[in-house]
Amino acid sequence: MDAAALPAALALAAGGGQGLSPEHRAALAVSLPLLQRDYRFDRLWFWGCIQGVRGSYYIAEGLRPDRAQPRYRLYSFNCLDWSLLTPASREMVAQAEQLRGRFQGDPSYEYNFADISAEAAAKLFEGGKEPVMKEEARLIATIEQIDRAVGIIPRGAFVKTPLGSVHENRHFEGLSLSEAKKLSSYFHFTEPVNLKNKTLLEKANLDPSIDFLDSLEHDIPQGKGSWSIQLEKGGAVVVLRSLLWLGLTFYHIPMTKQYGYIYFGTGEKNLDLPFML
């Protein structure tokens, strides 16, 4: 969610019982504007918090004018001092998917794949690499996984230019209440996968300037198996909660430009979701 609107946004997304202490809110109010200035970000989002056994990682994301460009991610333990994370590689994400259990809260902590999967450790040995992964690398990969799977925006909030760049839609005035209650009105804010597999007939009714991302209606399990949609604040706010990555909350006030998502959780994927339906 946008750092500039963080206090109000936290109140709108607090229905799940998660939030920030007054101390952390005060620290973010001071540090985030300085972070945006120092790194010259066009926009700064407070992404959320991954809770570890001995400490929690507070995450921020910096964006450039072209929203299609990779996002810059930073973490902090106290919401004051921030460290820049390196971009996640495919190999890093694949390795992190094999890890189970809570984060420790120590970036230098090492996970040994030999204790988890002998096959995975053997593959790393064959590639001339040590069968270990530091928690900082797991943190990078987990943030990438969550953003790819459940980082979402309302339809029409962003536009794609003929040159391929993506920018915020200045004419976006929010979804209507009836549209805001539909999964098809929300898109994954990442490289599309399902869209590329659609036929020309299926693409005929799509607007290429705004329908350039994958819709939530095609998520697996389909329908409302991956998401919970609720009306809160007397029906004034539409809230979506991910059932795949528990702790991810998205909010939107219909007929306004106010929307965003935030994550408060342990960084563990809900692998039991198919058995819960």
**Residue 277: predicted pLDDT:** 61
Tell me what the pLDDT averaged over the chain comes to. 87
The reported pLDDT for the residue numbered 178 is 94
- The answer to whether residues 36 and 168 belong to one domain is no
| Per-residue pLDDT band at 249 (split at 50, 70, 90) | very high
% of the chain exceeding 90 in pLDDT = 61
Specify the pLDDT at position 124. Answer: 59
- Give dist(CA 142, CA 269) in Å, integer: 9
Q: What pLDDT, on the 0 to 100 scale, is given for residue 194? A: 78
User: Tokens in use for 75?
Assistant: 């973490």
Is 9 a residue whose pLDDT tops 90?
no
* Helix, strand or coil, per DSSP, at residue 118: helix
Q: Strands 43-51, 56-63: parallel, antiparallel or unpaired by DSSP? A: antiparallel
Q: Cβ distance 88 to 144 under 8 Å?
A: yes
In a shared domain, residues 188 and 247: yes
**227, β-bridge pairs:** 242
Predicted pLDDT at 121: 56
Report pLDDT digits (tens) over 34-85: 999 999 999 999 999 999 999 999 999 999 999 888 899 999 999 999 999 9
Residue 190 burial by Cβ neighbours in a 10 Å radius (0-12, 13-18, 19+): middle
128: pLDDT strictly greater than 60: no
Tell whether 60 and 130 lie within a shared domain.
Answer: yes
CB atoms within 10 A of CB 126: 8
Whether 277 is in a domain gets the answer no
Same domain, 137 and 200: no
- Does 260 score more than 70 pLDDT? yes
Is residue 13 in a domain?
yes
CA distances from 21 to 10, 25, 259 (A): 11, 6, 22
Does 134 share its domain with 167? no
Report the alpha-carbon distance of residue 256 to residue 212 in Å, rounded: 22
% residues pLDDT > 70 (the chain): 89
For residue 114, is pLDDT > 80? Answer: no
Residue 275: inside a domain: no
Return the minimum-mean-pLDDT range out of 53-57, 111-115, 119-123, 148-152. Answer: 119-123
Assess whether 50 and 68 both reside in one domain: yes
Domain co-membership, 16 together with 44:
yes
Examine the fold and report which residue of 102, 126, 149 is the final residue of a domain before the chain moves on.
149
54/140 same-domain check? yes
Contact status, residue 243 vs residue 270, Cβ threshold 8 Å? yes
Domain region containing 231? 152-268
Task: Give the residue among 264, 262, 266, 267 at the shortest CA–CA distance from 3.
Answer: 262
Mark which of 149, 177, 205 sits at the end of a domain. 149
When divided into structural domains, the chain yields a total of 2
pTM of the model: 0.90
Q: How confident is the model at residue 174 (pLDDT cuts 50, 70, 90)?
A: very high
Residues 113 and 244 in one domain: no
Q: Are residues 135 and 169 in the same domain?
A: no
pLDDT for position 180: 95
For residue 2, the 8-state DSSP code is B
Among the three residues 124, 149, 174, which one is the final residue of a domain in this structure? 149
**CA pair distance 208, 160, nearest whole angstrom:** 8
